[in-house]
Amino acid sequence: MMPSPSNPSLLLINPWIYDFAAYDFFARPLGLLHLAGFLESCGFEITLLDCLGAPAVRSGAFGTGRFPKVILPTPPPLHGLPRRYGRYGISESEFRNRLARLPEPAAILVTSLMTYWYPGVAAAIAIARQYFPRTPVILGGIYATLCPDHARGQAGADIVIQGHGDKACLSYLADFTGIKVKPDDESGDFDVLPRPPLHLLPHLPFIPLLTSRGCPFQCDYCASRLLQPRFAARRPQAVVEELLHWQDSLGLMDVAFYDDALLYQADSHLLVILEELARRGRNFRFHTPNAVHARFITLEVARWLKRSRFATLRLGVETTSTGLARLDRKLAAGELEEALAHLKEAGFAKREIGVYLLEGLPEQDDRDLEASIRRVHALGATPVLAQYSPIPGTALWPTAVAASRYNLEADPIFHNPSIFPCWPEFSWERVTRLKRLAQGE
């Protein structure tokens, strides 16, 4: 690898999604933006190229919508599936035009999200290399963290960094540029890290926000602990200041929380944030696409959620069945019922309360899922099916590997939840029947 010129400019890339289905449900590259903020504060000049930064082809509510899609050949390991594979985001020619206009950066930093989206990561890196063949490429993010060996072998980056990666990045950048930077604060404290530079995003109808990292629970199917071993919350005041800053500078009102455990210790965290915003007379509208814990919804919490205009509310539940050995550790019998009663008393309507139910788990019996769907309807909430993605390193992984019709260990492309890798076969009839039931038909 050749050292780069002394220009300390960095190119950060959020790659395309390659998948059978993808919807922009409050999705923004917040991890890459956090890294951008940190590197900017260390004196680097940042250019962000967001492959998903295309205006939606069909707009949904609150800035959500359909990504533009170009159909691509289905990857060989998935041949035969009755679904259309494609690339979501900006066109390849737009990506190339943007690269062609850029000066040579000192390094290219690429993020990654879902493990099974790695073909989009590899495609973006391969194209970027055509324009900057001498520039080192560093890959980080969720796929890089969960599947580091695969990423090292297949993604085409020079370096793969697991985890937050900010300090590791600095040390590699020092090697490439000769510029040694010592951050002002080396504690890694969430609150002293610079704000993510949201203004770098080309299309931003809402504020993506992280008020805490990690989760105090450890559900069998979830990667939260692998990505963030300890739960850590920001100071409520710092969160308030960040929200006011973005509202004042970008004029935004909608906020999407990316937290895994937003309602954990709500009395000293979320409620303090909401009270302070109310005290200052600031109006926001909130969304929890990543789900909140039902067990933390007391009547007081429910009233604050209503008063503060939580417009997209999703509860993470998995299944309402008490007969099955439960895979998650976050909900005990009766807690969902209680939470829904509180939300209703606070004034939430059925359509406003989405309850995620996991579909496609290994050894899952449809009758159990159907019973869960009916139960959620009966409790006056809206069931939302979330397809299960097997993740290496989770407690459920060995069961998923044993149950799958694919060799899950051979290729992360098989982690794709929309192929239902742990069903004996893909069945539109089964998918449609469960979907209709969830829609109340």
Rounded to an integer, what distance in angstroms lies between the CA atom of residue 305 and that of residue 144?
Answer: 35
For residue 313, the SS3 value is strand
Element (H, E) at 92: helix 92-100
Q: How many helices (H) and strands (E) does the chain have?
A: 14, 19
Footprint (CB under 6 A) of ligand B12, residues 113-142: 113-116, 138-142
Q: Is 135 in contact with 9 (CB distance < 8 Å)?
A: no
Rounded to an integer, what distance in angstroms lies between the CA atom of residue 222 and that of residue 40?
Answer: 32
Binding piece for ligand SF4, criterion CB under 6 A, among 61-69, 144-152, 217-225, 413-421: 217-225
* Candidate residues 63, 196, 316, 360; the one interacting with ligand SF4 per rule CB under 6 A: 316
Q: 115 touches which of ligand SF4, ligand B12, none (CB within 5 to 8 A by kind)?
A: ligand B12
Footprint (CB under 6 A) of ligand SF4, residues 183-202: none
Closest to 19 in 3D by CA, of 122, 146, 120, 124: 120
Q: 360 touches which of ligand SF4, ligand B12, none (CB within 5 to 8 A by kind)?
A: none
Name the token pair of 39: 């590197």
Compare residues 114 and 170 and give the one whose CB is closer to ligand SF4: 114
Q: 142 touches which of ligand SF4, ligand B12, none (CB within 5 to 8 A by kind)?
A: ligand B12
Rg of the chain (C-alpha set): 22
Per rule CB under 6 A, is residue 274 in the interface with ligand B12? no
Per rule CB under 6 A, is residue 161 in the interface with ligand B12? yes
Rounded to an integer, what distance in angstroms lies between the CA atom of residue 208 and that of residue 258?
Answer: 7
Catalogue the E-assigned strands of 230-373: 232-233, 254-257, 285-287, 310-318, 353-359
Per rule CB under 6 A, is residue 219 in the interface with ligand SF4? yes
Rounded to an integer, what distance in angstroms lies between the CA atom of residue 254 and that of residue 320?
Answer: 31
Per rule CB under 6 A, is residue 223 in the interface with ligand B12? yes
Binding piece for ligand B12, criterion CB under 6 A, among 120-128, 235-243, 247-255, 385-393: 385-393
Identity (one letter) of the amino acid at 292? Answer: V
Binding piece for ligand SF4, criterion CB under 6 A, among 8-16, 129-137, 213-221, 423-431: 213-221
Binding piece for ligand SF4, criterion CB under 6 A, among 131-139, 172-180, 218-226, 371-379: 218-226
* Candidate residues 330, 342, 375, 415; the one interacting with ligand SF4 per rule CB under 6 A: 330
Q: What is the DSSP letter of 424?
A: S
Q: 302 touches which of ligand B12, ligand SF4, none (CB within 5 to 8 A by kind)?
A: none
Q: 169 touches which of ligand B12, ligand SF4, none (CB within 5 to 8 A by kind)?
A: ligand B12
Per rule CB under 6 A, is residue 372 in the interface with ligand SF4? no
Name the token pair of 207: 């504020």
Per rule CB under 6 A, is residue 170 in the interface with ligand B12? no
- Measured in residues, the chain has a length of 441
Rounded to an integer, what distance in angstroms lies between the CA atom of residue 139 and that of residue 160?
Answer: 5
Per rule CB under 6 A, is residue 224 in the interface with ligand SF4? yes
Rounded to an integer, what distance in angstroms lies between the CA atom of residue 263 and that of residue 67?
Answer: 30
Rounded to an integer, what distance in angstroms lies between the CA atom of residue 382 and that of residue 315?
Answer: 10
Footprint (CB under 6 A) of ligand SF4, residues 381-440: none
* Candidate residues 97, 218, 268, 407; the one interacting with ligand SF4 per rule CB under 6 A: 218
Rounded to an integer, what distance in angstroms lies between the CA atom of residue 305 and that of residue 316?
Answer: 16
Rounded to an integer, what distance in angstroms lies between the CA atom of residue 124 and that of residue 127?
Answer: 5
Q: Is 396 in contact with 220 (CB distance < 8 Å)?
A: yes
Footprint (CB under 6 A) of ligand B12, residues 402-441: 415, 417
Shortest distance in whole angstroms from residue 224 CB to ligand SF4: 4
Per rule CB under 6 A, is residue 35 in the interface with ligand B12? yes
Closest to 49 in 3D by CA, of 8, 10, 106: 10
Name the token pair of 424: 């004996």
Residues 246-261, buried b or exposed e (16+ Cβ, 10 A)? bbeeeebbbbbbbbbb
Name the token pair of 258: 């990316």
Shortest distance in whole angstroms from residue 154 CB to ligand B12: 15
Catalogue the E-assigned strands of 375-420: 382-387
Q: 219 touches which of ligand B12, ligand SF4, none (CB within 5 to 8 A by kind)?
A: ligand SF4
Q: 316 touches which of ligand B12, ligand SF4, none (CB within 5 to 8 A by kind)?
A: ligand SF4
* Candidate residues 236, 289, 316, 354; the one interacting with ligand B12 per rule CB under 6 A: 289
* Candidate residues 13, 54, 210, 313; the one interacting with ligand B12 per rule CB under 6 A: 210
Q: Which residues bind ligand B12 (CB under 6 A)?
A: 22-23, 25-32, 34-35, 109-111, 113-116, 138-142, 145, 161, 164-165, 169, 210, 222-224, 227-228, 258, 260, 289-290, 386-387, 389, 391, 415, 417
Q: Which residues bind ligand SF4 (CB under 6 A)?
A: 215, 217-219, 222, 224, 260, 316, 328, 330
